[in-house]
Amino acid sequence: MIHLEVPLPGRTYPVLVGDGARHELASVIPPGTRRVAVVTQHEVGVDVDPGREFRVFVMGDGEAAKTMTTVETLCRDFAQWGLNRNDVVVAVGGGIVTDTAGFAAASYHRGVPVIHVATTLLGQVDAAIGGKTGVNIPEGKNLIGAYWQPSAVLCDTEVLRSMPPREYRSGFGEVAKYHFLGGDHLDGLSLPEQVAACVRIKAEVVASDEREAGRRAILNYGHTLAHAIETAGSYDVRHGEAVAVGLVFAAEVAHQLGRIDAERVALHRQIVAGYDLPTTLPSGLAAPDLTGLFARDKKALDGVAFVLDGPDGVEVVTNVPADAIHAAFARITP
């Protein structure tokens, strides 16, 4: 088992990575906890034992369940059961569950502790780490939420073996991102080591900027286009697949601006394709469907903003000119 710590101002929390990590849940429950509300989805199919009285609350399956309605339902169910601030919410699932249950925990009684048992690769390397919670509205992904750090995160690599192949592969979209955030060493690592390496990178960034006042925005590398693709709707695209396309698009934009050379763009394409992920837009989706959605991105405080690679590494770049964006779209349109 790999034991990591996410350092925060005034405290740290543990992250356990490895086969069977879910069985360590009882050991990370805060002392004095009376009850545990386990939030999951039917499709997750992973059982946990927190070692004290608990009840399972099942939210709807799929991204469609990541809504304020679900948060209200969970909070009402918590209240009817009698959950209070001395109790704990445990989110068991992928990013949909950890984001939604985390937001419910942040909101209920103005905040009760939450522990994440991440059961997808995407959740383990990204969504469950760092304290971002939130739900979607029709206008965009994760536009309503809160920063609410977990008390602990368990990344059980054993459960990844039962994931549907496409969902598992999608998680590598986030792994591909970390290649450009200091993860040059990710190739050749075992899966638990790869997950742990991604957690270390994210933990270091989060520790330096917990509430995304600046540097933490680099963790959104590839996500400006990815979130636009997902918000456009009605396309069969997984989050990691959208991030993969977004990484290539961001590299093409950076090349148009003279920030990186053609060799660096080719490296982006090579890494993304190496994980058997797409490098072009979904068929039928075009630039006009997406450019209007960029302004809804949470980084868009000063014109259209992207996280882009460059001579000083990955950073936020504002007021990206339209001609660079359109030229980059031409490079990723099938």
Distance CA 184, CA 293 (A): 32
How many helices (H) does the chain have, and how many strands (E)?
A: 11, 11
- Residue 265: which residues within 8 A CB-CB, separation 6 or more? 248, 251, 252, 254, 255
Packed helices 191-208 and 165-178: angle between N→C axes, nearest 10 degrees: 50
User: Catalytic site residue 216?
Assistant: yes
Which one from 116, 179, 223, 298 is the annotated catalytic residue?
223
Q: Where are the beta strands (DSSP E) in 114-217?
A: 114-118, 132-137, 140-147, 152-156
Active site residue 220: yes
DSSP secondary structure of 230-289: HHH-SS---HHHHHHHHHHHHHHHHHHTTSS-HHHHHHHHHHHHHTT---SPPTT--HHH
Would residue 132 show up in a list of annotated catalytic residues for this protein?
yes
Residue of 22, 66, 141, 202 marked catalytic: 202
Reply yes or no on whether 319 is catalytic. Answer: no
Could you say which of 116, 132, 238, 255 is catalytic? 132
- Which of 220, 230, 241, 255 is catalytic? The answer is 220
- The one catalytic residue in 116, 141, 227, 255 is 227
Active site residue 193: no
Known active-site residue 315:
no
Catalytic residue, from 24, 212, 241, 252: name it. 212
Catalytic site residue 167? no
Tell me which of 174, 230, 241, 252 is the catalytic residue.
174
Q: Which residues have C-beta within 8 Å of that of residue 64, sequence separation ≥ 6?
A: none
Active site includes 223? yes
Q: Respond yes or no: is residue 202 known to be catalytic.
A: yes
Helix (H, G, I), strand (E, B) or coil at 144: strand
Catalytic residue set = 110, 132, 174, 202, 212, 216, 220, 223, 227, 239
